[in-house]
Structure 1
Amino acid sequence: MFVPGPVNIPGPVNRAMNRQNEDYRSPAVPALTKVLLEDVKKIFKTTTGTPFMIPTTGTGVWESALTNTLSPGDRVVSFLIGQFSLLWIDQQRRLGFDVDAVESEWGQGADLAALERRLRDDAPRHAIKAVAIVHNETATGVTNDLAAVRALLDKHAHPALLLVDGVSSICALDFRMDEWGVDVALTGSQKALSMPTGMGIVCASPRALEASKTARSVRVFFDWKDYLR
């Protein structure tokens, strides 16, 4: 297993934290947050996405991505290629989604031929509501081709949302949310951002925000509408 857990925090970051906590009801906090929310779009390479910064780990932003865009019973095609995709699939099933797990031998990438067969067979019903994929499967060191996934969805004119775990890829590997048509991307502070563990960052496309208006999954702490308000 290749699991570079929380990365070493650079000295300047550690020193910047050597200060008292800010009162979260003070005017300084929303002022700072608004700047951060605009700046964080750069790490996703998006101009149209809406970011959310949530005090949680990768597991929490997984749940945020799923519950804000899907309803119980929705069919999700998800790729099982390593330990972290295995855990995400387990979460998807426990949240009540109908998960079609496309398994490849660990050490191999996502089986895109299997995805194409599913997309072709799903026309014109479009029962598949989302495709969930780990961009970089940390456990095996395999990076998936997100542009190819988007090309398949476009080829079959399929409306399924593209949900991407970018915990170990965003800021470390090339990631282009707008260009690749990613609907929800997520990452964590403890990897390439080189910060302490505990901040999850989700970015939602306009399509994902629209889906969140009708998604019926139960959500409270991770509900995007509360963060937007």
Structure 2
Amino acid sequence: MDNVYALGRNHLFVPGPVNILEPVLRAMNRNNEDYGSPTVSAMTKVLLEDVKNIFKTATGTPFMISTTGTGAWESALTNTLSPGDRIVSFLIGQFSLLWIDQRQRVNFNVDVVESEWGQGANLDIQASKSVDATAHTIKAVCIVYNETATGVTNNLATVRKILDHYRHPTFFLVDGMSSICALDFRIDEWGVDVALTGSQKALSLPTGIGIACASPKALSCPFGTSSTPNPGYVSSI
């Protein structure tokens, strides 16, 4: 059973959403804010600055979106890439599989690097694919930091070292759903272009907020001039 009812409380025993902490529940016990009040915009600015801390960034721009983790995935992809772009992705478990499926359904050219479930991403294969540095056919490398289904954590610093070694300008996109705030994460130091998480995971908040952080490079979308634009994108999911 997912839920056990005891003492009037609903206890969750699933990978996410997780149980909301008592201090958060108490903080939520208040009336709505007047969204037209200047205090709301002031609070939002402070909140977005605070969100930078969970990504350990001084240069990234955070975004908070009313969506699930799937929506955060979609936003990261469709705002940096265009249909037909080649993406290298690592299949190591159920959640990396779902992210790959999403990319294929929105017409990206997904180059899947598969490992046995319970193993980490095969970075030797990434290195072999990165030798196309002069052609720059790879527009993004997508990886799950911690695969929820297996508990395997990938080494993001090594991914960045491989890309830097081959001077590859590809975007580096990271799913940090079950890891950001639970594991050490350094978007600036590791050269991650877009990282994302959800309110219902390590932040222990209610479900419904997708949180992303984009590097200056991601915001500039350097591949946008050479790829087919994605006009009026409408999700097929």
| Same fold per superposition (TM over 0.5) | yes
Q: Which amino acid aligns with 2:15?
A: P
Say which one has the larger Rg: 2
Q: Which has the higher contact order (CA 8 A, sep 6+)?
A: 1
2:97 to 64, 86, 92: 86
Number of matched residues?
220
Percent identity, aligned pairs only, is 72
Query: Structure 1, residues 181-200: CA drift from partner, whole Å, max 9, x if none?
Result: 00000000111111111111
Give the whole-Å Cα distance in 2 for the aligned partners of 1:170 and 1:123. 30
Give the whole-Å Cα distance in 2 for the aligned partners of 1:59 and 1:5. 13
- 1:86-125 to 2 correspondences below 5 Å: 86-120=97-131, 122-125=132-135
More displaced, 122-131 or 23-32?
A: 23-32
Query: Structure 1, residues 118-173: CA drift from partner, whole Å, max 9, x if none?
Result: 011x1310110000000000000000000000000000000001000001100100
Considering only aligned residues, what root-mean-square deviation do their CA atoms show, in Å? 1.8
Give the gaps of 5 or more residues in structure 1. 223-229
| Distance 1:203-1:212 versus aligned 2 partners, 3 A rule | farther
Give the gaps of 5 or more residues in structure 2. 1-12
The residue that corresponds to 2:69 in the other structure is 58
- 1:91-170 to 2 correspondences below 5 Å: 91-120=102-131, 122-170=132-180
Query: Structure 1, residues 100-125: CA drift from partner, whole Å, max 9, x if none?
Result: 010001100000011011011x1310
Would you say the 8 A contact 1:44–1:176 is kept in 2? yes
Query: Structure 1, residues 38-94: CA drift from partner, whole Å, max 9, x if none?
Result: 110000000000000001111000001000000111000000100000000011111
The residue that corresponds to 1:203 in the other structure is 213
Q: Which amino acid aligns with 2:169?
A: P
More displaced, 188-197 or 20-29?
A: 20-29
- 1:11-26 to 2 correspondences below 5 Å: 11-26=22-37
SS at match of 2:173: strand
| Distance 1:69-1:212 versus aligned 2 partners, 3 A rule | farther
SS at match of 2:221: helix
Shift of 1:19: 1.2
The residue that corresponds to 1:33 in the other structure is 44
Give the whole-Å Cα distance in 1 for the aligned partners of 2:109 and 2:233. 22
Taking structure 1 as the reference length, the TM-score comes to: 0.92
Shift of 1:220: 6.5
SS at match of 1:125: coil
Shift of 1:26: 2.4
Give the whole-Å Cα distance in 1 for the aligned partners of 2:57 and 2:78. 22
| Distance 1:221-1:9 versus aligned 2 partners, 3 A rule | farther
Q: Which amino acid aligns with 1:20?
A: N
SS at match of 1:105: coil
| Distance 1:171-1:118 versus aligned 2 partners, 3 A rule | same
Q: Which amino acid aligns with 2:28?
A: M
SS at match of 1:90: helix
Give the whole-Å Cα distance in 1 for the aligned partners of 2:181 and 2:222. 26
